Amino acid sequence: MISGLLVIQALKLAPSPEASGFLINNDSAAFPISRMMHDGPVYAVAFSPDGKFVVSGSYDNTARVWDVATGKEVSRMTHKYVVNTVAFSQDGKYVISGSQDGTVRVWEVATGKEVSRMTHVVQLLESH
């Protein structure tokens, strides 16, 4: 892990083909910065406009906001079914999530409090 950090620092100070090659060709140079885990597969991710947070939507029926620097969960929002789309508002104060439960919800990033819900009726058309 320390060798990977040193190579990254070397690339910042004096980019070189040797340092780049080390990162590309050496699997041991890869190391996790943080772990942001769900209880199921993740279908959608988005960064906040300022890059400080990331939101993820998952098969576990949740959208979760994470602090990028620490990897810690900031808030968790729950739907009845899979969350398959997420986005931040332009000011970064809100997250929107869309789910297979037929809802699109708006949440406060800091608290995870739901502030708005739009419900869609899913109607299947018969093919003729």
**88-112 pLDDT tens trace:** 999 999 999 999 999 999 999 999 9
**In this structure, are 65 and 105 located in the same domain?**
yes
Q: At what angle do helices 2-13 and 17-25 cross, to 10 degrees?
A: 150
Cα–Cα distance, 1 to 17 (Å, whole number) = 20
pLDDT digit string, tens, across residues 10-67 = 656 666 676 666 656 665 544 454 555 666 677 888 999 999 998 999 889 989 998 8
**77 lies in which domain range?**
42-119
Assigned domain for 128 exists: no
Whole-prediction pTM? 0.67
- Output the CA–CA distances (angstroms, integers) from residue 30 to 37, 42, 47, 55, 105, in the order listed: 18, 21, 22, 23, 36
**In this structure, are 19 and 46 located in the same domain?**
no
Which tokens is 100 given?
A: 């297979």
